[in-house]
Chains A and B, each alone.
Chain A
């Protein structure tokens, strides 16, 4: 580990609940170092997804301070922040078109106009690494199974090489073998960056610092191997 990559201080978020205002985040703080995997668990409705969205600057109404490599979110700017701190939503999303178009979608955006678009060989290799060797690049994305779509979405965001990857239950839709491949890929990614995962499942072999979100704050519950 070498230094703090992502830091969140005093995150607060109030949601309208059935019995009045609900403090979903109540002064939550989190520090993630380069090379680290952080797993966040907690009861349903505790605000885990809200926390991930807040870290990606994707939850309007959250107050607090966010820093990436010592620079504030305001300094970095929302678009650049989301490129560096990439959120993969829980429900896998595929865009219209084939798998190739899906994987290249991030480079259709202005924010990556100056970057090189990955070629077919790179896309192929990336799919092979997550057990999608049988999925052709010109397969229509709507014909992927849920588990395949989840991995295509993961490969898509990993190819953009963010600093921090925010994964919302990345193995929820996967069988044991695919989950294993995704876990290995996640661990490999974390060598250069950092990963924050929301996870319910038992430890998956990835060395991770485990935190629990309850009453709007994060509490350490030890490490997992």
Chain B
């Protein structure tokens, strides 16, 4: 649940907040119809995906709105924690899909790295920076957890995809290094460093461009909701730094927990030819 901008058309106005009604929601779909027509005329072949994505946007965001309204009403710490856990598990599943080359069994590592990042960064922000009372107040914790988890998920998926692709690209070098007596860390560390930097670059770029090239999503939302722009920018600064921290912590933890899985217990890099050999790996814990 990353920060997104809302609002397309203005109609009714209540206490500084412009609400959007059903006619406007339907009207906004008109733009998607336009894109659909373009897709058909140019044979882009994306009409179906576009239609599904549009319907999903309506359904998912409305469901989210309803759920959050209910969660804010119930106001229970257990509910907030349960929701965070659910978000973590869903994010870990997404990571698995986005890093198809990763070795099997990284779901657990993804959950651990998402969980660590999610809880540490979210509660650092709500507890120390925003100083929410009580600590579990859903109105603050859930949106912030959503941004933390969403961004660290993207970072973790990118880092995992990169580290295993880079290791395979260096397979011959890794074999030569292990043959010279390298530990898995000594052999893999250049790839690990590259993957973690790659995961951080989009975040660093968006931090550098924030406020000049674009108004960040959360700040946009707050301004549209009637907040003072200066107050909104203070929030946005905290959010950007927290997103950077979440991406960094998440990708470092995830990569450090998983790169070793591409090596055998006694430190041999498992190249494509070797790891596909089920017989080899099944038969032989061996006596060597």
Contacts and interface: CB of A to CB of B under 8 A. Distances in A.
Most A CB atoms within 10 A — which of B181, B266, B270, B280? B181
B197 to A, nearest CB: 16
A171 to B, nearest CB: 18
Contacts, number: 114
A160 B180 contact: yes
Interface string B261-288: 0001011101000101111111111111
B287 A65 contact: yes
Nearest to A93: B176
Given A16-B278, A16-B279, A110-B183, A60 B178 contact: no
A64 B178 CA distance: 21
Main secondary structure of the interface of A (DSSP, over half): mixed
A79 B288 contact: no
A13 B180 contact: no
Given A16-B277, A62-B288, A109-B181, A153 B176 contact: yes
A61 B182 CA distance: 20
User: Which size bracket describes the interface of A in this complex?
Assistant: 35 or more
A62 B288 CA distance: 7
B179 A58 contact: yes
A93 B176 CA distance: 7
A63 interface: yes
A59 B284 CA distance: 10
Interface residues of B, number: 31
Interface in A59-94: 59-66, 73-74, 78-80, 82-83, 86-89, 91, 93
A88 B280 CA distance: 22
A108 B278 CA distance: 34
Contacts of A12: 284, 286
A31 to B, nearest CB: 16
A112 interface: yes
A47 to B, nearest CB: 12
Given A15-B277, A61-B277, A62-B286, A109 B182 contact: yes
Nearest to B286: A63
A74 B265 CA distance: 13
21 contacts: A14-B284, A15-B280, A21-B279, A58-B268, A59-B268, A59-B274, A60-B266, A60-B274, A60-B280, A61-B284, A63-B285, A63-B286, A65-B288, A79-B181, A89-B179, A93-B173, A95-B177, A106-B180, A109-B180, A109-B186, A111-B183
Interface of A: 12-16, 21, 54, 56-66, 73-74, 78-80, 82-83, 86-89, 91, 93, 95, 105-106, 108-112, 153, 156-157, 160
